[in-house]
Structure 1
Amino acid sequence: MEPGQGIPIRNIAMEAYCSIILKNVTVQQAGKLLLNRISFTLKADEHLAVFGASGSGKSLLAGVLKGILSYTGSVEFKKGTQSVQPVVAYVPAMYPLRNQIHNTGRYYQQRFASSANETATVSETLLKKGDAVTVFQWLETFRLTHRSHTPLARLSGGELKKVQLVGHLLTHPDVLILDRVFTGLDAGSRKILHAVLNQLASSGTRIILITDSHELPVCITHFAELSEGALVNYAPVEQLGFMQSIPARREAPLPELKKAYHIGPLISMKQVSIRHGNTTILNNINWQVNNGECWLIKGCNGAGKSALLSLINGDHPQAYAQQIHLFGKRRGSGESIWDIKRRIGFVAPDLQHFFDPGITPAQVVGSGFFDAFGLCRKLDEAQARKVTAWLRFFSLQDKAQLPFRSLSDGEQRLVLMARALIKDPLMLALDEPCQGLDDSQSRMVIRLLERIHSETGMTLLFISHYEDEIPACVRHVIELEQGIPTLYKKTMPSTIAKSKNQPLTLGLS
């Protein structure tokens, strides 16, 4: 099926659109001004993209439009002069799998250790919201039919994002608000989503998209730019080229990091396969990572990228039955999961959802010393200084004692990056570390990784669906297709040497 064909949407005349009018919309929480007198009118035939730095108020604006956030001022939906109450669907940036697990003992590793009956399947989840024919059509559109009987816990992050989106589309919304919906999707899925949004827009659904300027469907007519809770620009999308470019962030000195050195391979896998029931997730992986190498783990949604990282980070129970050596020791030969984790700094898209609600950013960073999801012991003076140094590096020192969940998604991701680095790991295992970051933050993190590798020789494993997010120090690639690996060395962007499903041993770049 070509992107955009066979989409189960309504055919509604253009006059069915309503105007959206905001007047002096203001949001305050705990005495702090979060949105400041936002006013604009989105006319009946217009569709909106909302831009802004992390923490600028984009998701808060979405919450106001959805009606789930208290505010002063007014929000009106009108057809002509008549007020209406449209069906508004809000697709938040994250789909917290933690909330979908039936078992009350929730922990990060449960995604890989859960039994098949601990979460509902894709079809069970979606059939609660729509009829079987429409559900099947949407699954076919997003190429998820082969996953219809798969438990949610077994889906990749990108697949979960598509299930989340389909669930909202089954409500047939008049207004569809999408918060960074392209995040976590592979290139093919993003192309399909562009086609879906364009066809929805032409058929009566108002599209409001929180995104970056490089990911705009052609249906978008206007953009709103927020900064520190204020509307600083509202204009037709054709004027995007006149927006000021984001100034480069001044490079701050790195907090002290030890040299990352290890004798022998850090990772060695031989004929590693992972299966759940009749489904093969990883198929005959032969892979070696030497000290100081930087690898991109590449593949479409559901290819097995996160599962591969879970074997390395000690989260997948099937690792014990495999020929996996980590840091010179056979997995399952007596080492504990903490022996593995203390050498690896880890970031994943949904990691922040497993911290207690009352924890602070300083405590989250400090928990990295102990690879825990809370700070159960007091830090010594040197550790406390290091926490402060990393929060200052990411310009988060003023938010160190706030509730972690009060930070924006991008700020939470930076806190997790500091947590990964706090213990001077030998290796960083980063699953889409730029997810949720604004353009300036993404550039800063990419540059940070390049600096860390240059100054310490730290090994890097990196997952991303965007080529411009890959640090320059990455020279090696393992690409997964339906769990089958292809290994190659990246000498230049246009020059690669591939070796299908064969062990590849490469020296330091």
Structure 2
Amino acid sequence: MQPLFSITHATVRLFNNTVFADLNFTINKGEHWAIVGESGSGKSALLQTIAGNLNAAGGVLHYHFFEDHINQHPDQKGYITHHKLIAMVEPRHHFRNLSNTTEFYYQQRYNSSDSEDALTVSEYLKSVKPLTDSNTYWSFEKITSVLKLESLKEKQLIKLSNGEGKRLRIAAALMKNPVLLLLDSPLTGLDIETRQEFNNIIAEIAASGITIVMATAPNELPDIITHVAVLQNGTVNWQGPKNKFETNFAALPPNTSIDKNEIKALLNLTPAATYDVIVSMKNVTIKYGKNVVLDNINWEVRPGDKWALLGHNGAGKSTLLSLVNGDNPQAYANDIVLFDRKRGSGESIWDIKQKTGFVSPELHQYFPTDSSCLQVIESGYYDTLGLFRPSNPKRAETALRWMKALEIDKYARVLLKNIPASAQRLCLLARALIKNPPLLIFDEPCQGMDTHQVQHFKALVDTICSLSNVTLIYVTHYRHEIPDSVDKVLKLEKGKVV
């Protein structure tokens, strides 16, 4: 076996924490690896270590493929490093606006004048240069065809759906024509159809000679994966060929109990307001230029209703939610009633947000990077993306109680950006619940959670629904993630109700 990359006896640290002690891991030529394990086991950290983004003290990281490359292209010696031959696709996007002054803010995609300050898909991809001139198998034309981006070429980055953004990040990585492609949870946020297409895409990438290493769920291994490594608490527990791997190797702890009395006590801290109608939409249409995103939508949500909102990536779900959540200014040009008041009758966006608890997969990206988890949760009282005032001791205490109820209190003083994706979701859930709003909007809340955490999250939602008359709108691509309390469905296809 010819090694492509190897780590031997390495200690890897992140800030003051040891992530891996005595780490040993080898990728041989012709192998494609899946890294599996429960949330927080170190999957992302292993990819970041391979990419050279984490500090490895002691031990040896050996980039054998780089030596091979320099032997074949001696003219590049001294001009490029091994980093140039690696591309990584992270769960979080790093798109910046055209003026390059700031990252996007959350409501920007719905404000047409502000979204003009974003690159289009075509402009963004063409700004990515191949790592070297020696191999450009993956051209702009080939990438946009394989990743089905042709119809999105002129779309601004900020207006991409979660799944579309994921495809674009993979496309940008391929524009570099790397030797090694690292994918961190590439399947989260993709609808079932796109996941099946992903299997073919990943096969084509592998066939082009690129080695793939991906962090993924144990039950979602693409066909081309040859080897699996199981992580647990920063240790490689098992590694070997895929045909010897069994999903119980990555077994998860049994479900934990939920303290119903504590949840009830927390919900009772703030009496819930009552309304006749939570949401009423009549013939609602939303357009951006010639592009119709929502087409003649009629929908009524009454107090205590529990809705699942379903549809493919790009079907219009996020835009529909932006109307309910007060983020979309086109609401004023439509017949929309929220919490018994017609939009445009004098209520502010803050009046709406005060009555809504919101969780989405992108939301955590918009918090200040110096926010601790406890501060993020306390900010739910003020509906701000960050705590921009001195902490209130009583409210901070309630925030900590919610953290304990959601089993994440160990992260109270840790920065939101430094905790596992699943724990970030639960922080945002606590932020949504802290003021006991009459409406909860959960947009793909289980992204990045392992099986145990999904079960716990669903049980928690069902508990909250059983203890209160809260109204719920729940978005997911997967039927198994829908809580039992949900009994109504609205399905969108290309902006229409089907």
Please confirm whether the aligned pair reaches a TM-score higher than 0.5, indicating the same fold.
yes
CA 1:321 to 1:247, structure 2 compared with 1: closer, same or farther past 3 Å?
Answer: same
Q: Quote the offset at 1:318 in angstroms.
A: 0.7
Alignment of structure 1 residues 16-95 onto 2, 5 Å: 18-72=3-57, 73-78=59-64, 85=82, 87-95=85-93
- Residues 249-273 of structure 1 show CA distances to partners (whole Å, capped at 9, x for unaligned) of 3113143214756342210000111
Q: Is the 8 A contact 2:97 2:103 kept in 1?
A: no
Q: Quote the offset at 1:18 in angstroms.
A: 4.9
Q: Quote the offset at 1:403 in angstroms.
A: 1.9
- Residues 23-44 of structure 1 show CA distances to partners (whole Å, capped at 9, x for unaligned) of 1222123432112221122222
CA distance in 2, matches of 1:60, 1:133: 28
| Paired position in structure 1 for 2:491 | 479
SS at match of 1:311: helix
CA distance in 2, matches of 1:20, 1:353: 32
- Residues 116-169 of structure 1 show CA distances to partners (whole Å, capped at 9, x for unaligned) of 521010111111236999323322223221111111111111111111110111
CA 1:242 to 1:188, structure 2 compared with 1: closer, same or farther past 3 Å?
Answer: closer
Q: Is the 8 A contact 1:98 1:354 kept in 2?
A: no
Alignment of structure 1 residues 85-484 onto 2, 5 Å: 85=82, 87-97=85-95, 102=100, 104=102, 106-115=104-113, 116-129=115-128, 134-238=139-243, 239-243=245-249, 245-254=251-260, 255=263, 256-258=266-268, 262-484=274-496
Q: Quote the offset at 1:398 in angstroms.
A: 2.4
CA distance in 2, matches of 1:65, 1:105: 27
Q: Is the 8 A contact 2:8 2:61 kept in 1?
A: yes
CA distance in 2, matches of 1:260, 1:475: 22
CA distance in 2, matches of 1:344, 1:64: 40
Q: Is the 8 A contact 2:252 2:452 kept in 1?
A: yes
CA distance in 2, matches of 1:80, 1:126: 25
CA distance in 2, matches of 1:422, 1:74: 47
Decide which structure has greater helix share.
2
Q: Is the 8 A contact 1:355 1:374 kept in 2?
A: yes
CA distance in 2, matches of 1:175, 1:293: 48
Q: Say which is worse superposed, 288-297 or 252-261, in terms of deviation.
A: 252-261
Amino acid at match of 2:5: I
- Residues 397-447 of structure 1 show CA distances to partners (whole Å, capped at 9, x for unaligned) of 222112221212222121111101111011111111111222222221122
Amino acid at match of 1:223: V
CA 1:205 to 1:343, structure 2 compared with 1: closer, same or farther past 3 Å?
Answer: same
Q: Is the 8 A contact 1:76 1:83 kept in 2?
A: no
User: Which runs of no fewer than 5 residues in structure 1 stay unpaired?
Assistant: 1-14, 487-509
CA distance in 2, matches of 1:309, 1:241: 36
Q: Is the 8 A contact 1:261 1:458 kept in 2?
A: no
SS at match of 2:351: helix
CA distance in 1, matches of 2:64, 2:257: 48
Q: Percent identity?
A: 36
CA distance in 2, matches of 1:42, 1:132: 23
Q: Quote the offset at 1:335 in angstroms.
A: 0.9
SS at match of 2:267: coil
SS at match of 2:428: helix
Q: Say which is worse superposed, 71-80 or 59-68, in terms of deviation.
A: 71-80
Amino acid at match of 1:251: S
Q: Quote the offset at 1:77 in angstroms.
A: 3.2
Aligned length: 471
Q: Say which is worse superposed, 41-50 or 363-372, in terms of deviation.
A: 41-50
SS at match of 2:489: strand
SS at match of 1:129: coil
SS at match of 1:368: helix
CA 1:295 to 1:102, structure 2 compared with 1: closer, same or farther past 3 Å?
Answer: farther
CA distance in 2, matches of 1:80, 1:337: 53
Q: Quote the offset at 1:200 in angstroms.
A: 2.2
User: Which runs of no fewer than 5 residues in structure 2 stay unpaired?
Assistant: 71-81, 130-135
Amino acid at match of 1:121: T
CA distance in 2, matches of 1:133, 1:28: 35
After superposition, the CA RMSD in angstroms is: 2.4
